[in-house]
Chains A and B, each alone.
Chain A
Amino acid sequence: MNPHLSALEISECFIGEAAPFIAEHVRECDRCRAEVTLLGDSLYQFRYSIERWSSHLDHAEYQVVYRTTPARGHYGSPRIAGLSSLAVHGALAAVIVVLGTFQPVQSLVKQRITALEINLRPYLAQQDKAAAGGGGGGAHQLLNASKGKLPKPAPRQFTPPRVDPVPDPKLPMVPSIIAPDDVPNIQANNYGDPLSHLGIPSNGIGSSGGIGIGVGGGVGSDRGPGTGVGFGGGFSGGPYRIGGGVSAPSVLSKVEPEYSEEARKAKWQGTVVVSVIVDELGRPRNVTVLRSLGLGLDQKAVEAVSQWRFKPGLKGGKPVPVFATIEVNFRLL
């Protein structure tokens, strides 16, 4: 009998069926029993630890997956999946950005966006052209503004129009009025008030540049850089003519014209025809003489008519400025 078990024989105890003599020896020999016990104990502890570790980490939520249809394929590590997802998305974003730099694509996109643009015009609040803007001016001259074309409309006024342009300006600038493009205009060689009468060129009796009897750089009888009757920039739409849906203004209060001294002495009588614009408030504007009588009667007629008050003409129920012609009779009894 050999004194102690060999390494192979000790292993036999754990690997497979140990021969009877080995078991017998282990029972008898203290040293070999100690070795076998140490190895067995260690293996037992190891196994126990692994089991506890594993059951701690294990989750019992997997049976649900198996109960339903099994998932397709093996998706690998979530970290790899995350990285590849990031890569794919980044690549897509890069492709979109690169595509966007090409000219044809840009124009295509622009076209598409224009096609999608909604026409809001029908839904916008209607702007009342007749009430918008107006203007006037003048140069403190004695005569009313003479007839002429309007300067070019522009969004900003640098130079008010003048009937007599500065001959050799140091800083040439085309005069303009602040008005929309579709201001009705007349054909003429010089600037002036298109609603006025022909006469000696004059910038009008108004002030602050411009043409007319108003104040400001515009053309017309009111204030501002526009044209027509009204305030501020723009275009008052011009007076309407009576007829075609525009009712005639009617006189509310009259002031009888006086006779001038000269006319009475000369026993001069007749009719002065005065053109007047009756504005939305019923006030006479832009009173001009159409048919003159002379001997101071024209001025008397204008003076009188300027103090009249009217019920304004209506278009579609709204008061609008209307051209009116008034005959002023001068009779000596």
Chain B
Amino acid sequence: MDLTVRMDTLLTLGAAEAGNAGTDGASDFDVLVQTYRPRVFRFLLASVRDRESAENLTQDCFLRAYRARDQFRGESNRTTWLMQIAINLVRKHESSSRLKFWRRALRPGLSPADLHEWLPDHQVSPEAAVLAKEQVNAIWSVVTQLSERQRTVFLLRFVEEMDLLEIAGATGMKEGTVKTHLFRALQSVRAKLEVTK
């Protein structure tokens, strides 16, 4: 099936990334950064929808990881560990209500209608292109309206392709809770897609 094939490719890609940074030890932190930086940045960008903040938070995330690299016990995998730090940073960022007003006033972030510009160009037909555009915009507008937890879980699952256990480890939620949040987020997306259709 088309869908599963796509999912599989992406999953194997993720596995290859993880395999590159296989060696343990703090000496090759460089390799870790090179391997995981795009993922962390992508997640943070989608979470805060602002390039500067995302860059700052990515920097911060790896700085914290570097300082705490000795305490990394190796129980969870590196993705979970880094995402845990990133999620905490996002929470802190969201809750700094003092800056909220200014952030809103100074940079409006990426509006939901802009994400479709990054769609691949190799659509089979103009119709498909329009459809894809509408789909992406619908999901994006839903994601921006989701609560912080639901959005985090949604992004981790459908952008970062993490499985439920990893998400549970990274967010500190139980697996069932993660499932519930995912389900609600998916329901919102589906409702929006129905409207668009």
On whether A49 and B136 interact (CB within 8 A), knowing A15-B182, A15-B186, A40-B3, the answer reads yes
A71 vs B56: C-alpha distance when bound (angstroms)? 12
Q: Is the CB of B119 within 8 A of A48?
A: yes
Q: Which residue of B is nearest A55, CB measured?
A: B38
Q: Is the Cβ of A53 less than 8 Å from the Cβ of B115?
A: yes
Task: List the B side residues contacting A36 at CB < 8 Å.
Answer: 3
In the complex, whether B158 has a CB less than 8 A from a CB of chain A is yes
Q: Which 3 residue pairs across A and B have the least CB separation, nearest first?
A: A42-B135, A54-B42, A40-B3
Q: In the complex, what distance in Å separates the CA atom of A77 from the CA atom of B46? A: 19
**Bound Cα distance from A27 to B3, whole angstroms:** 12
Given known A39-B193, A46-B140, A77-B52, contact A15–B119 (CB-CB < 8 A): no
Report the bound CA distance from A76 to B183 in whole Å: 35
Q: Which chain B residue shows the least CB distance to A27? A: B1
> What residue in chain B is nearest A47 (Cβ atoms)?
B159
A41 and B135: CB pair below 8 A?
yes
Tell me the minimal C-beta distance from B55 to chain A in angstroms: 8
* Nearest chain B residue, comparing its CB with the CB of A39: B190
State the CA gap A48–B115 with chains docked (Å).
10
Residues B159-192 near A (CB distance < 8 A): 159, 161, 163-164, 179, 182-183, 186-187, 189-190
The answer to the question of B33 belonging to the interface, with a C-beta cut-off of 8 Å to chain A, is yes
B34 at the interface (CB under 8 A from A): yes
Interface centre among B1, B46, B132, B186 (most CB of A within 10 A): B186
B87: Cβ under 8 A from any A Cβ: no
Expressed in whole angstroms, the minimum distance between the Cβ of B170 and any Cβ of chain A is 16
Number of interface residues of B (CB under 8 A): 59
Q: Is A112 an interface residue (CB 8 A)?
A: no
B binding-site residues for A, Cβ under 8 Å = 1-3, 6-7, 10, 29-30, 33-34, 37-38, 41-42, 45-46, 51-56, 58-60, 62-63, 66-67, 99, 102, 106, 110, 115-116, 118-120, 132, 135-136, 138-140, 157-159, 161, 163-164, 179, 182-183, 186-187, 189-190, 193, 197
Residue in contact with B59 in the complex, picked from A38, A56, A62, CB distance below 8 Å: A62
Instruction: Give Cα distance in the complex from A46 to B62, angstroms.
Output: 26
CA distance A38 to B161 in the complex (A): 18
On whether the beta carbons of A11 and B118 are closer than 8 Å, the reply is: no
Contacts of B157 in A (CB 8 A): 14-15
Q: Check if B183 sits within 8 Å of A8, measured CB to CB.
A: yes
B183 touches A11 (CB 8 A): yes
Chain B residues near A59 (CB-CB < 8 A): 55
Give chain A residues whose Cβ lies under 8 Å from the Cβ of B52: 77-78
Given the complex, which residues of A lie within 8 Å of B136, measured CB to CB?
42, 45-46, 49
Q: Does A102 contact B (CB under 8 A)?
A: no
A91–B106 Cα gap in the complex (Å)?
A: 25
- Cβ distance B195 to chain A, nearest Cβ, rounded Å: 13
- Give A64's nearest chain B residue, CB to CB: B30
Question: In this complex, what residue of B is CB-closest to A7?
Answer: B187
User: How far, in whole Å, are A57 and B48 apart by their CA atoms in the complex?
Assistant: 14
A3-31: which residues lie under 8 A (CB-CB) from chain B?
7-8, 10-11, 14-16, 27
* Residue among B1, B2, B116 facing the most chain A CB atoms (10 A cut-off): B1
The reply to whether A37 and B158 form a contact with Cβ atoms under 8 Å apart is no
Q: Which of A14, A16, A35 sits near B158, CB closer than 8 Å?
A: A14
Kindly state the separation between the CA atoms of A56 and B42 in the bound complex, as whole angstroms: 10
User: CA A46 – CA B139 in complex, angstroms?
Assistant: 7
Please determine whether A45 and B187 come into contact, CB atoms closer than 8 angstroms. Answer: no
A-B contact pairs, 12 of them (CB 8 A): A15-B183, A16-B164, A27-B1, A39-B193, A41-B3, A43-B139, A44-B3, A46-B136, A50-B42, A54-B41, A74-B56, A77-B99
